[in-house]
């Protein structure tokens, strides 16, 4: 057993031994019984105990358990999921090691806000610019376990918008380094309609040089024309963002002055700014008690401007699509569930780069020069999917599914020379098969095998001269998983564990050949093996006191099985960019005077920085504490105040790394994004319920 697990088990076991029996058991994180968590990522809305997969669920309360600003602390509670955060606008999510080698941002993991994709046609996923207080729940499908959401090799993340309620609320958070966040929201929920609107403003001066951040956003969602058998839902979101970029730094700078920005990014005052819109409509109709039809249409648009030391990048992306599906029950006694449908998607992407003349701008930052490149990309795909659940007998059921994807891309270069290219990938079939057994009322055991894939990004599919690499193939893999879920002690204790083995072939390698140039190749195979543990507990003590501890841990072995490139053989080396071992633990204490306190702890193992494993970050642990007061007056007015300290021991750590960073000329590789040092925050909220 890894040494870091021992103190966690001791922390978790104490309240199990000390608790008295409670008549009514509720959780401090959800307000519901532990076995009542409902998810929407598979066949039907169902309890997690009836699903043959390890699904990470983050409730609304857990999303706001820290400062209500950043998502990483909540996501990193889920075993097997690791979110690196170099800043509010610089993040990378890896699930069971998939996606860890992406140079910047997140790919190989699809994401949805309701039914609207947050993943572009170029496979880039952005979830960090959504307001946490506009989210109702986050579901994380680990690796390719759901045909319904695209069979992505890295899995999928589904964010459910916050449900409308009859209330008006105001939330304000202030903190270290100029942190200020304000949220105003209002909702109405009636018999035939519901509506929710929220506005948020977030800004920070930043603790590093050239790291100021400012974001404004509006979210609307709701339901209209609710009838017994039908409803029409809508959602819309607008985000305006401007974030300066300190970028990554080399090891001596990380150790001696982590607040520094990379010199060229500081001199050019590099930043990214964009306006992003998304909107969607979804209509559902119940033909009978057995068959339901639903269809969704959506439109997304993003305009961005990013002055960088080596050029100025301007992008314009418009995406649109639809999703139609039938679901219901089959068989004589309607015991079998099914879902089948199709998703269509297309986006148009335009990008231009210009000279950055910041060196000639008298220290005033970036200055646009002559046009360097002008290109356009159109990517379109369809996902056809089907999934079924068939009972074999009353305790055993079979789950099977398939997803087929077909993708086509066209490229147009308009400058410096004109060229048009088109290519497509062969259809990718991704089957899934699972068995689920209930040995007891509140226990389930499952075994599954599933296939997933990840298509090359545009930059990975091009050769150094800009022509299409016809030899590039999608990255594909199979996952084998065994899992166990149980609820004990009158549902006070919830435990999950999973063992998995994932085998990837046609590994996509993005070799950096310039400041913003990457060459993609299929370079080998990787293996991802691991064990995950999750436990939540609730105990009511005496005189209104209660305890809610939690524990999660993952122990993995991620390595290259076959990987030879540029004359070097990396077989047997650890996979770059991801820690093999992670753990998180915490406890919330509630007192009878509307007072609560919490402490959380997260451990991250060392991370290999390059494929040769010659550089590695140090392991680290972070501890956060929070004290709060929450009270409802006369059943209508609710007030809450909280104060917290994050990284209370002022640990120095790398919050994000740049895999396989290169040093150009005499410069050292810039691997490190330093993490935020000790910082404080306080929050105040007021709510009127009508």
pLDDT top residue among 417 and 269: 269
Q: How confident is the model at residue 146 (pLDDT cuts 50, 70, 90)?
A: confident
**Given this model, what pLDDT does residue 23 score?**
29
Which tokens hold the place of 526? 């990787």
**Given this model, what pLDDT does residue 151 score?**
87
CA-nearest of 140, 154, 41 to 107 is 154
CA-nearest of 504, 499, 513 to 478 is 504
- Which of 12-21, 113-122, 245-254, 658-667 is the most confident on average? 245-254
Give the 3-state secondary structure of residue 148.
Answer: helix
Q: Which helix (H) or strand (E) holds 292?
A: strand 291-308
Give the 3-state secondary structure of residue 145.
Answer: coil
pLDDT digits (tens, 9 = 90+) for 168-208: 999 999 999 999 999 999 999 999 999 999 999 999 999 99
Question: In this structure, are residues 500 and 481 in contact, taking their beta carbons and an 8 Å threshold?
Answer: yes
pLDDT top residue among 6 and 594: 594
**Please, is 471 exposed, middle or buried when counting C-beta atoms within 10 Å of its C-beta (0-12, 13-18, 19+)?**
exposed
Which tokens hold the place of 545? 């006191």
pLDDT > 90? residue 284:
yes
Which tokens hold the place of 185? 């929201």
pLDDT > 50? residue 17:
no
**Given this model, what pLDDT does residue 582 score?**
97
**Given this model, what pLDDT does residue 149 score?**
86
pLDDT > 60? residue 20:
no
**Please, is 315 exposed, middle or buried when counting C-beta atoms within 10 Å of its C-beta (0-12, 13-18, 19+)?**
middle
Of all residues in the chain, the percent with pLDDT exceeding 90 is 77
Domain spans, the chain: 5-367+377-689
pLDDT > 50? residue 27:
no
What average pLDDT does this structure show over 240-263? Answer: 98
pTM of the model as a whole? 0.92
**Given this model, what pLDDT does residue 31 score?**
40
Q: Lowest mean pLDDT: which of 141-155, 290-304, 422-436? A: 141-155
**Given this model, what pLDDT does residue 617 score?**
97
Report CA 25 to chain centroid distance, whole Å: 30
DSSP per residue over 444-490, as a string? EEEEEEEEEEEPPPTGGGB-TTS-B-TT---EEEEEEEEEEEEEETT
Report CA 661 to chain centroid distance, whole Å: 24
pLDDT > 80? residue 21:
no
Question: In this structure, are residues 16 and 6 in contact, taking their beta carbons and an 8 Å threshold?
Answer: no
**What fold characterizes domain 5-367+377-689?**
Maltoporin; Chain A (2.40.170)
pLDDT top residue among 494 and 664: 494
Instruction: For CA atoms 461, 663, 125, 451, give the dihedral sign.
Output: positive
What average pLDDT does this structure show over 375-387? Answer: 94
**Given this model, what pLDDT does residue 43 score?**
54
pLDDT > 70? residue 6:
no
pLDDT digits (tens, 9 = 90+) for 201-222: 999 999 999 999 999 999 999 9
Alpha-carbon gap, residue 105 to 127, rounded angstroms? 10
Mean predicted lDDT score pLDDT of the chain? 90
What average pLDDT does this structure show over 132-144? Answer: 91
Let me know the angle formed at the C-alpha of 181 by 681 and 61, rounded to the nearest 5 degrees: 70
Which tokens hold the place of 491? 């549902």
Question: In this structure, are residues 320 and 300 in contact, taking their beta carbons and an 8 Å threshold?
Answer: yes
**Given this model, what pLDDT does residue 564 score?**
81
Q: How confident is the model at residue 394 (pLDDT cuts 50, 70, 90)?
A: confident
DSSP per residue over 506-531, as a string? S-EEEEEEETTEEEEEE-EEEEEEEE
Q: Alpha-carbon Rg of the chain, whole angstroms? A: 25
Q: Would you mind telling me the total number of residues written for the chain in this entry?
A: 690
What average pLDDT does this structure show over 536-549? Answer: 92
pLDDT > 60? residue 14:
no
Of all residues in the chain, the percent with pLDDT exceeding 70 is 92
What average pLDDT does this structure show over 80-84? Answer: 97
What average pLDDT does this structure show over 672-680? Answer: 98
Question: In this structure, are residues 561 and 22 in contact, taking their beta carbons and an 8 Å threshold?
Answer: no
What average pLDDT does this structure show over 2-25? Answer: 40
pLDDT digits (tens, 9 = 90+) for 508-529: 876 666 666 667 788 789 999 9
Report CA 508 to chain centroid distance, whole Å: 21
Let me know the angle formed at the C-alpha of 589 by 30 and 35, rounded to the nearest 5 degrees: 30
pLDDT > 80? residue 5:
no
pLDDT > 60? residue 26:
no
**Given this model, what pLDDT does residue 19 score?**
40
For 18, residues 6+ apart whose C-beta sits below 8 A from its C-beta are 539
**Given this model, what pLDDT does residue 24 score?**
30
pLDDT > 70? residue 18:
no
**Given this model, what pLDDT does residue 44 score?**
57
**Given this model, what pLDDT does residue 465 score?**
72
Which tokens hold the place of 664? 């150009």
pLDDT > 60? residue 154:
yes
Q: Mark 330-364 as b/e (b = at least 16 C-beta within 10 Å).
A: eeeeeebbbbbbebebebbbbbbbbebebeeeeee
Q: How confident is the model at residue 16 (pLDDT cuts 50, 70, 90)?
A: very low
pLDDT digits (tens, 9 = 90+) for 628-641: 999 999 889 999 99
Alpha-carbon gap, residue 450 to 153, rounded angstroms? 10
pLDDT digits (tens, 9 = 90+) for 322-363: 999 999 998 777 688 999 999 999 999 999 999 999 999 999
3-state helix, strand, coil in the chain (%, to 5): 10, 60, 35
Which tokens hold the place of 397? 């059921």
């Amino acid at each position: 057993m890894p040494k870091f697990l021992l103190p966690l088990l001791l922390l978790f076991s104490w309240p199990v031994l000390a608790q008295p029996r409670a008549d009514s058991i509720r959780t401090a994180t959800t307000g519901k019984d532990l076995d009542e968590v409902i998810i929407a990522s598979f066949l039907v809305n169902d309890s997690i105990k009836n699903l043959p997969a390890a699904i990470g669920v983050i409730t609304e309360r857990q999303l706001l358990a820290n400062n209500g600003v950043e998502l990483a602390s909540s996501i990193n509670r889920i075993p097997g999921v690791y979110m690196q955060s170099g800043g509010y606008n610089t993040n990378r999510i890896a699930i069971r090691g998939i996606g860890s080698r992406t140079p910047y941002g997140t790919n190989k993991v699809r994401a949805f806000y309701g039914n609207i994709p947050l993943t572009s046609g170029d496979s880039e996923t952005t979830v960090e610019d959504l307001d946490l207080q506009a989210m109702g729940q986050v579901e994380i499908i680990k690796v390719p376990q759901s045909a319904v959401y695209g069979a992505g090799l890295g899995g999928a993340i589904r964010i459910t918008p916050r449900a409308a309620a009859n209330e008006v609320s105001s939330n304000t958070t202030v903190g270290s380094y100029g942190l200020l966040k304000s949220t105003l929201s209002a909702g109405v929920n009636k018999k035939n309609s519901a509506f929710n609107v929220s506005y948020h403003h977030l800004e920070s001066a930043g603790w590093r040089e050239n790291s100021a951040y400012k974001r404004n956003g509006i979210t609307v969602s709701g339901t209209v024309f609710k009838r017994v058998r039908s409803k029409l839902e809508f959602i819309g979101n607008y985000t305006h963002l401007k974030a300066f970029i300190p970028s990554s730094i080399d090891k001596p700078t990380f150790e001696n002055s982590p607040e520094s920005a990379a010199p060229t990014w500081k001199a050019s005052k590099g930043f990214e700014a964009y306006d992003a819109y998304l909107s969607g409509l979804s209509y559902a109709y119940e033909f009978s008690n057995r068959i339901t039809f639903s269809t969704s249409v959506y439109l997304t648009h993003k305009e961005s401007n990013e002055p960088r030391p080596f050029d100025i990048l301007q992008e314009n992306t418009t995406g649109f699509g639809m999703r139609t599906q039938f679901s219901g029950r089959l068989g004589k006694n309607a015991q079998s569930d099914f879902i089948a449908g199709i998703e269509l998607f297309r986006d148009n992407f335009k990008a231009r780069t210009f000279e950055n003349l910041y060196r000639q701008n008298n220290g005033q930052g970036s200055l646009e020069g002559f046009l360097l490149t002008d290109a356009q990309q159109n990517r379109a795909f369809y996902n056809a999917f089907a999934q079924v659940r068939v009972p074999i007998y009353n305790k055993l059921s079979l789950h099977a599914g398939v997803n087929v994807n077909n993708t086509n891309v066209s490229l147009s270069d308009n400058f410096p020379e004109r060229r048009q290219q088109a290519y497509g990938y062969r259809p990718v079939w991704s089957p899934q098969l699972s068995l689920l057994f209930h040995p007891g009322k509140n226990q389930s055991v499952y075994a599954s095998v599933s296939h997933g894939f990840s298509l090359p990004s545009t930059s990975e599919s091009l050769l150094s001269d800009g022509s299409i690499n016809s030899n590039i193939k999608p990255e594909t893999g199979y996952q084998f998983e065994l899992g166990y879920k149980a609820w004990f002690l009158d549902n006070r204790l919830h435990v999950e564990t999973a063992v998995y083995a994932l085998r990837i072939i046609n590994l996509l390698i993005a070799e950096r050949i310039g400041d913003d140039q990457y060459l993609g190749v299929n370079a080998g195979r990787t293996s991802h093996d691991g064990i995950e543990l999750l436990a939540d507990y609730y105990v009511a003590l005496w005189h209104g006191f209660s305890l809610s501890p939690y524990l999660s841990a993952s122990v993995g072995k991620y390595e290259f099985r076959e990987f030879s490139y540029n004359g070097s053989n990396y077989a047997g080396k650890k996979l770059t960019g991801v820690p093999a071992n992670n753990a998180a633990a915490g406890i919330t204490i509630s007192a009878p005077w509307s007072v609560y306190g919490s402490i959380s702890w997260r451990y991250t193992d060392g991370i290999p920085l390059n494929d040769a494993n010659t550089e590695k970050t140090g392991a680290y642990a972070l501890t956060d504490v929070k004290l709060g007061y929450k009270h409802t007056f006369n059943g209508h007015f609710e007030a809450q105040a909280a104060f917290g300290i994050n990284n209370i021991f002022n640990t120095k750590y790398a919050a994000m790394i740049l895999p396989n960073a290169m040093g150009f000329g005499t410069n050292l590789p810039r691997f490190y994004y330093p993490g935020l040092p000790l910082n404080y925050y306080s929050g105040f909220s007021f709510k009127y319920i009508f």
